Amino acid sequence: MSTTGAAADPLAALGSLPGVTESVESVRKAVDRVYGHRIMRRRSNEITSEAALRAARGSAALSGADWALEEVRRRTDFGVDADARVMGAALRLTAEAGQLLSIWRQSPLRVLARLHLVAAAGGGDEVGRPRHEGEPVEEPLVELPLPDAKEVSGRLDGLADLVIAGSSAPALVTAAVVHGELLALRPFTSYNGLVARAAERVVLIGSGLDPKAVCPAEVGYSELGRAAYLAALDGYVSGTPEGMAAWIAHCGKAVELGARESTAVCEALQRGAA
């Protein structure tokens, strides 16, 4: 998302696009339903833990490692093959996101570097920094044209400036822009999709929209499907008002579905306690 010549608060301008206000309100109602559930008052830590597991499973599925939830629960070997490494990275990122909230608003690029380090869990000097010109990017499921390293650097700086400056825009809008921009740029040599979704998670938690991390958007993206996800991303990359609004709405629907998932978990726990 280019900020050149933009208004003082370009994120707030996105919040006024047709349909975005309705998405924001629908998300707020879905989130409020989860937080208002009686089980949340007594067993919120359990809901948070379960939501994190399901979030990791959903994010990994979008990156090609589509495992059943029970397999994620029982497996401990996350370094054996490519799919296992993706799942392990998703689990680590989901756990790490909540630890980075205090740093995000002051130094978002530092957080992104940390997320990539956590995802990669080792490797060469390409880990934890934006890619250099000519370095290959391993992100086979996103086939959009790849911006060059100079553009990546400039747009990352612009994104960081937006985060540090703050905005009156709803949290959903900020989260969607962070997510979309990182997917469009693919600033690292690997795990960009996982990092983009983890960064969105940081925004949703840190903004206060979902402070207990019980509305995992990753679940919703997985449920809506990879084709819909990539089609919505095309809208973001187009930069048109209609495309941006469609991407934000897609992100909103994913949060709603994540909230619905945790509401179902609350209901199941309530039945078990009855």
Taking the C-alpha atoms of residue 139 and residue 192, their distance in angstroms, rounded to an integer, is: 7
CB atoms within 10 A of CB 228: 14
pLDDT for 172: 98
Arithmetic mean of pLDDT, 33-37? 96
Residue 266 has pLDDT above 50, yes or no: yes
Q: Provide the pLDDT confidence category of residue 140 given band limits of 50, 70 and 90.
A: confident
Please say if the pLDDT value at position 80 is more than 80: no
Residue 269 DSSP symbol: H
What is the number of other CB atoms lying within 10 angstroms of the CB of residue 172? 28
- How many Å apart are CA 107 and CA 146, to the nearest integer? 25
Helix (H, G, I), strand (E, B) or coil at 190: strand
Q: Does pLDDT of 96 surpass 70?
A: yes
| Per-residue confidence band for 4, with pLDDT thresholds at 50, 70 and 90 | very low
Residue 250: name the closest of 27, 9, 14, 16 by CA.
27
Token couple for 199: 């960064």
Contact criterion met (CB below 8 Å) for 188 and 130: yes
What is the mean pLDDT of the segment spanning 89-108? 96
Phi and psi at residue 162, to the nearest 5°: -65, -45
Span 161-183, pLDDT tens digits: 999 999 999 999 999 999 999 99
Q: Give the CB-side neighbour count of residue 125, counting CA atoms within 13 A.
A: 1
Mean pLDDT, the chain, as a whole number? 94
pLDDT cut 90: percent of the chain above it: 90
Q: For residue range 180-194, what is the model confidence (pLDDT) as tens digits?
A: 999 999 999 999 999
Whole-structure pTM value: 0.94
Mean pLDDT throughout 189-216?
97
Question: How much is the pLDDT for 79?
Answer: 74
- How far CA 14 is from CA of 101, 232, 248, in Å, comes to 24, 16, 9
Q: Over pLDDT 70: what percentage of the chain?
A: 97
pLDDT over 80 (residue 45):
yes
Q: Using 50, 70 and 90 to split pLDDT, how confident is the model at 78?
A: confident
Identify the sign of the CA torsion 197, 257, 164, 95: negative
pLDDT of residue 1: 61
124 and 90 Cβ atoms separated by less than 8 Å: no
- Whole-angstrom distance, CA of residue 119 vs CA of residue 229: 21
Task: Tell me the C-alpha distance between 80 and 55, whole Å.
Answer: 21
Give the pLDDT of residue 3. 42
Report CA-CA distances (Å) from 38 to 41, 112, 142, 211, 213: 5, 36, 41, 17, 17
Instruction: Give the model's pLDDT for residue 273.
Output: 62
Axis-axis angle for helices 149-165, 108-120 (nearest 10): 120
